Amino acid sequence: MTQDLPLFDLMTSPDALDETADVEWWTDETEIPDSFVLCLRVPGGRVLLTYWYAELHEVIFQTPADSEAAAAERNTRLFDHYSQGLEWNEVLDNGFGKTYERADQQLFAMWSYTMDYTTIGTADYMDARRAAASS
């Protein structure tokens, strides 16, 4: 399943999506102005793509693996793709999941080991989410 999981490049427009993408739903009802979410069906689950100002800023892989080894293999592939050769630093382990920051502080990652979902996103979008939540 890991090799079948599609990868998406951040900061690309929705036009960059493969025309065969299996869109399950979409919404512009988000807490962040000028953003919308597409939900795609993919092998093993779903992927949520969040676009903000018409660029991809967050990818949530809702693709639980059937074993710890498979989850580790999937996360290695995801972290390698989004690292662009930079290291990921673990910032927090709260007992439900781990939060990471890429060495250049431009991207964050979260892995929920309770649900086995992995999120990768831009620091700018995370800052906008925090600001929206506090207002």
Q: How many CB atoms within 10 Å of residue 109?
A: 22
- In this prediction, residue 49 has a pLDDT band, given cuts at 50, 70 and 90, of very high
Q: What is the pLDDT of residue 119?
A: 96
Q: Is the pLDDT of residue 98 over 80?
A: yes
pTM of structure: 0.92
Q: What is the pLDDT of residue 102?
A: 97
Share of the chain above pLDDT 70, in %: 99
**Exposed, middle or buried: residue 97 (CB in 10 Å: 0-12, 13-18, 19+)?**
middle
